[in-house]
Amino acid sequence: MSDVKTSIDQLVKANDVVLFMKGTKTMPQCGFSSRVAGVLNFMGVEYQDVNVLADADIRQGIKEYSDWPTIPQLYVKGEFVGGCDIVTEMTLSGELDQLFAAKGVGFDKDAADKIREANA
Protein backbone atom coordinates (compact mmCIF):
# COMPACT_ATOMS: atom_id res chain seq x y z
CA MET A 1 0.00 0.00 0.00
CA SER A 2 2.97 2.35 0.44
CA ASP A 3 3.47 2.34 -3.36
CA VAL A 4 -0.13 3.50 -3.77
CA LYS A 5 0.32 6.24 -1.19
CA THR A 6 3.50 7.36 -2.98
CA SER A 7 1.64 7.44 -6.33
CA ILE A 8 -1.22 9.45 -4.81
CA ASP A 9 1.20 11.84 -3.12
CA GLN A 10 3.05 12.41 -6.40
CA LEU A 11 -0.24 13.09 -8.26
CA VAL A 12 -1.43 15.54 -5.62
CA LYS A 13 1.89 17.40 -5.54
CA ALA A 14 2.53 17.39 -9.32
CA ASN A 15 -0.80 19.03 -10.25
CA ASP A 16 -2.28 22.30 -9.00
CA VAL A 17 -5.78 20.81 -8.87
CA VAL A 18 -6.61 17.09 -8.65
CA LEU A 19 -10.04 15.48 -8.46
CA PHE A 20 -10.21 11.85 -7.41
CA MET A 21 -13.57 10.80 -8.78
CA LYS A 22 -15.70 7.97 -10.07
CA GLY A 23 -15.31 8.22 -13.83
CA THR A 24 -13.57 11.01 -15.71
CA LYS A 25 -14.08 14.75 -16.09
CA THR A 26 -15.77 14.13 -19.44
CA MET A 27 -17.75 11.09 -18.30
CA PRO A 28 -18.44 11.06 -14.55
CA GLN A 29 -19.84 7.77 -13.24
CA CYS A 30 -21.74 9.05 -10.19
CA GLY A 31 -23.79 12.10 -9.32
CA PHE A 32 -21.43 13.44 -6.67
CA SER A 33 -18.41 13.20 -8.97
CA SER A 34 -20.48 14.74 -11.75
CA ARG A 35 -21.40 17.72 -9.57
CA VAL A 36 -17.80 18.53 -8.58
CA ALA A 37 -16.43 17.96 -12.10
CA GLY A 38 -19.29 20.09 -13.46
CA VAL A 39 -18.38 22.98 -11.16
CA LEU A 40 -14.68 22.78 -12.10
CA ASN A 41 -15.45 22.41 -15.81
CA PHE A 42 -17.95 25.30 -15.80
CA MET A 43 -15.48 27.52 -13.94
CA GLY A 44 -12.77 26.68 -16.48
CA VAL A 45 -10.40 25.21 -13.90
CA GLU A 46 -7.53 23.14 -15.30
CA TYR A 47 -7.39 19.94 -13.26
CA GLN A 48 -6.15 16.37 -13.27
CA ASP A 49 -8.94 13.81 -12.96
CA VAL A 50 -8.19 10.41 -11.44
CA ASN A 51 -10.76 7.67 -12.08
CA VAL A 52 -10.83 5.59 -8.89
CA LEU A 53 -13.03 3.00 -10.62
CA ALA A 54 -10.06 2.08 -12.83
CA ASP A 55 -7.85 1.10 -9.86
CA ALA A 56 -9.15 -0.47 -6.65
CA ASP A 57 -5.87 0.29 -4.85
CA ILE A 58 -6.17 4.00 -5.66
CA ARG A 59 -9.86 3.92 -4.69
CA GLN A 60 -9.02 2.59 -1.22
CA GLY A 61 -5.70 4.38 -0.97
CA ILE A 62 -7.13 7.87 -1.45
CA LYS A 63 -9.53 7.31 1.46
CA GLU A 64 -6.59 6.42 3.70
CA TYR A 65 -4.39 9.20 2.29
CA SER A 66 -6.92 11.89 3.19
CA ASP A 67 -8.57 10.11 6.11
CA TRP A 68 -11.83 10.93 4.30
CA PRO A 69 -14.28 8.08 3.59
CA THR A 70 -15.97 9.24 0.41
CA ILE A 71 -15.22 10.07 -3.21
CA PRO A 72 -14.96 12.54 -4.93
CA GLN A 73 -12.03 14.26 -3.25
CA LEU A 74 -10.65 17.61 -4.39
CA TYR A 75 -7.06 18.73 -3.82
CA VAL A 76 -5.73 22.22 -4.53
CA LYS A 77 -1.96 22.84 -4.47
CA GLY A 78 -1.41 19.66 -2.44
CA GLU A 79 -4.09 20.47 0.13
CA PHE A 80 -7.21 18.36 0.64
CA VAL A 81 -10.27 20.58 0.18
CA GLY A 82 -13.12 18.12 0.62
CA GLY A 83 -15.83 16.12 -1.08
CA CYS A 84 -18.99 17.01 -2.95
CA ASP A 85 -20.90 18.70 -0.11
CA ILE A 86 -17.93 20.83 0.96
CA VAL A 87 -17.06 21.85 -2.61
CA THR A 88 -20.73 22.72 -3.27
CA GLU A 89 -20.93 24.85 -0.11
CA MET A 90 -17.63 26.56 -0.91
CA THR A 91 -18.79 27.30 -4.45
CA LEU A 92 -22.06 28.85 -3.29
CA SER A 93 -20.41 30.90 -0.52
CA GLY A 94 -17.57 32.16 -2.73
CA GLU A 95 -14.94 30.40 -0.62
CA LEU A 96 -13.84 28.26 -3.57
CA ASP A 97 -13.15 31.44 -5.59
CA GLN A 98 -11.11 32.79 -2.68
CA LEU A 99 -9.15 29.55 -2.38
CA PHE A 100 -8.37 29.45 -6.11
CA ALA A 101 -7.36 33.13 -6.08
CA ALA A 102 -5.16 32.70 -2.98
CA LYS A 103 -3.45 29.64 -4.46
CA GLY A 104 -2.98 31.18 -7.92
CA VAL A 105 -5.31 28.76 -9.69
CA GLY A 106 -6.98 30.20 -12.78
CA PHE A 107 -10.78 30.17 -12.95
CA ASP A 108 -13.62 32.07 -14.59
CA LYS A 109 -15.06 34.44 -11.96
CA ASP A 110 -18.11 35.21 -14.12
CA ALA A 111 -18.90 31.48 -14.36
CA ALA A 112 -18.58 31.16 -10.58
CA ASP A 113 -20.97 34.10 -10.15
CA LYS A 114 -23.45 32.45 -12.56
CA ILE A 115 -23.43 29.29 -10.45
CA ARG A 116 -24.29 31.35 -7.39
CA GLU A 117 -26.99 33.31 -9.22
CA ALA A 118 -28.60 30.09 -10.47
CA ASN A 119 -28.66 28.71 -6.92
CA ALA A 120 -29.74 31.86 -5.08
Which amino acids are annotated as binding site for [2Fe-2S] cluster, given as ranges? 30
- Give alpha helix (H) positions in the chain: 2-14, 31-42, 56-66, 84-93, 95-103, 109-118
Nearest to 107 by CA among 73, 72, 76: 76
Please give the annotated binding residues, written as ranges.
Answer: 30
Rounded Cα–Cα distance for residues 98 and 93 (Å): 10
